[in-house]
Structure 1
Amino acid sequence: MNSKTIDDITAAGAAGLIAELATASCGPALVLIPTDGLGAGLPGEVPILFDRANQKVIDLQSTINAARQEPARRKGVAKVETLRSFIDLANRHKDETSAIFGTTIWPTPKLTAVLNYNTGTSPHWNDHRIIYEFPLTEEFKAWIEGDGDGMDQATFAFFLEEHAAELSAPFDGERSEYELLFKERFATPADLIALARHLEVFVNAKAKQGIRLQTGERTIEFSEEHLNGKGEKVDIPGIFMVSVPAFLDGDAIRIPARLRYRIKGGDISWSYQLYRWQFWLRNKVQQDLAKAGEKTELPTFEGAPENG
């Protein structure tokens, strides 16, 4: 091989090397950024891709995430309609960071399981949740909506018969407590059904106030005009017990109710007043919060987590 051929080869190799170096100097470079001292929750190094030709950083995270076939972590909010579903779903997803919060005050009772909640030593995302908003039964809604509203005799008689299944006899402790408190006689469900039927009979009759007896009983006298004032006396109890499930698929709560009436010009208006029903409702929510904590073995807190 003569010297000219060797020179030609050497020149070609040098040109290729120069081109390779030029290309490398313009290509992207992987740079590792140390995170020491920048706070918890970071890896030791964060990789970035630097485009040397255009002098800018290429977003590696979005590029890599776009290629994911499954989410990097669990997040989102599941809403359930029963306490049992809340407990079962919490048990399915819980870990050592999970916790349950209970908003127990009307009108927005709610249980919230935060499955990735903060621990005592480190923060977490707090964005994977299960919510149970205590859906009300139609029966409970009817009692609440009618609380304190005046009803004519026919309407009240119909209401008692329509909701007879939600009337309950008082327990011995309830009877002694509330009869002493209200100085009234406790009615059994049979008493109230009998009252409703009496009211149906005398729906067109005139009413006048009867006598309050020493036993705490009250009477109303109903009379037809053609009887010259001679009428029938109906015994009116003062309190009764409502036992109704407040929430779908939930246990019944017991609420004492006072029976009221007003007579004006021979016409009578009936109403009932549920005694401290919001207290009994909150008590039920507190019991369900405790039950959820027991069945899931998670810590419980009365209140709401960060961001609701």
Structure 2
Amino acid sequence: METKHETNLAETLARELKSPIEIASNTAAALRRVALPPGWTLEEQDDSMKLPAPLRKTATVRLRDADSFIDYVKRHGSLTDSTVWCLADYVQGKIAFTAIINDQGEDPGAAAWRDHRAYFAPEFSEEWRRWNGKNKQPMSQADFAAFIEDNLKDIASPDSAGLPSGAAMLEMALSFEATQDMRFKSAIRLSNGGVNLSFVQDDDAQTLQKMSVFERFAIGIPVFWNGDPYQVDARLRYRVRDGKLHFWFELVRTDKILEAATSTVITTIREKTGNPFFFGDPFAN
């Protein structure tokens, strides 16, 4: 048992030396334990910024396109100690890639800091943002007509699909504008999948005007910025409220379109980097 005399002696010795006394160390773990005299505090000073160069590479960067992401991984990484991860939620529309430049390799006895990282999230195209932004959003006849006119170049007319062309969609949009002040009367479904809508003037119930609309149409748009276009099918819907029609469209299985576009990006990254590739969160607890 340590006596009071021995304790006083250690404190006196520490004050005379004017430095802490090391009582244990572990070189392998770079761990040191020191005893400080009463009233002393231990401060940490990092002078690494004064060195001619850092002791090791460390960084966190975000890239804007796949080519930049690939080039960064190849420039700073290695085939043995760098990994690439993909975290994808196609329903929520979230795609993210992470490259860990100094990841832990196959050697079970070797560890790495994993603090040199590159991030890349593909940027959605303006067309994709526009159509998804209005997906399932009811619009008045005039607003829907304006949206179709503004984005007419995106309307696709696949061969042998029986879907309306851009010209036919424009004609429908113009009809919407012409009937926006009329009162809706009835709707008759046609054998070709379309719908015949009847309108009357509020001040003349005998005046009848008919307009044909399409139940389905298709758009051809890129999912990602500077990417290839994909066909996206859409269903046209309408609802009557106070004698007025409101229209909207429902894009069909955008999650599968996003998955297909992402698969192309994944293939490009895997082939051009050559690094181990994983699906998941590299920093999950």
- Give 2:252's aligned amino acid: Y
Cα deviations across residues 57-91 of structure 1 (Å, max 9, x unaligned)? x99x9777454211121111111112222122222
Shift of 1:307: 5.3
CA distance in 2, matches of 1:303, 1:171: 39
CA distance in 1, matches of 2:73, 2:164: 43
Question: What aligned pairs does 1:245-264 form with structure 2 within 5 A after superposition?
Answer: 245-264=222-241
Question: What aligned pairs does 1:1-308 form with structure 2 within 5 A after superposition?
Answer: 38=28, 65=48, 67-95=50-78, 96-105=80-89, 106-121=92-107, 122-170=110-158, 172=160, 175=161, 186-225=163-202, 228-306=205-283
In the alignment, is the contact (CA less than 8 A) between 2:126 and 2:225 conserved in 1? no
Where structure 2 has 5 or more consecutive residues not aligned to the other structure, the ranges are 1-16, 20-24, 35-41
In the alignment, is the contact (CA less than 8 A) between 2:155 and 2:220 conserved in 1? yes
How many residue pairs end up in the alignment?
260
CA distance in 1, matches of 2:133, 2:46: 56
Judged with a 3 Å threshold, the aligned counterparts in structure 2 of structure 1 residues 34 and 203 are, in CA distance, closer, same or farther, namely closer
- Give 1:120's aligned amino acid: E
Question: Please, what is the CA RMSD of the aligned residues?
Answer: 3.6
Classify the secondary structure of the residue corresponding to 1:89: helix
Judged with a 3 Å threshold, the aligned counterparts in structure 2 of structure 1 residues 253 and 94 are, in CA distance, closer, same or farther, namely farther
Judged with a 3 Å threshold, the aligned counterparts in structure 2 of structure 1 residues 201 and 66 are, in CA distance, closer, same or farther, namely closer
Classify the secondary structure of the residue corresponding to 1:220: strand
Judged with a 3 Å threshold, the aligned counterparts in structure 2 of structure 1 residues 81 and 261 are, in CA distance, closer, same or farther, namely same
CA distance in 2, matches of 1:252, 1:132: 21
Judged with a 3 Å threshold, the aligned counterparts in structure 2 of structure 1 residues 152 and 284 are, in CA distance, closer, same or farther, namely same
CA distance in 1, matches of 2:85, 2:138: 39
CA distance in 1, matches of 2:62, 2:272: 19
Question: Which of structures 1 and 2 has the bigger CA Rg?
Answer: 1
Report sequence identity in percent. Answer: 24
In the alignment, is the contact (CA less than 8 A) between 1:206 and 1:266 conserved in 2? yes
In the alignment, is the contact (CA less than 8 A) between 2:87 and 2:281 conserved in 1? yes
- Give 1:203's aligned amino acid: Q
CA distance in 1, matches of 2:76, 2:156: 40
CA distance in 2, matches of 1:125, 1:171: 55
CA distance in 2, matches of 1:66, 1:152: 62
Where structure 1 has 5 or more consecutive residues not aligned to the other structure, the ranges are 1-25, 51-57, 176-184
Classify the secondary structure of the residue corresponding to 1:110: strand
In the alignment, is the contact (CA less than 8 A) between 1:152 and 1:270 conserved in 2? yes
CA distance in 2, matches of 1:116, 1:125: 7
- Give 1:280's aligned amino acid: I
CA distance in 2, matches of 1:253, 1:120: 39
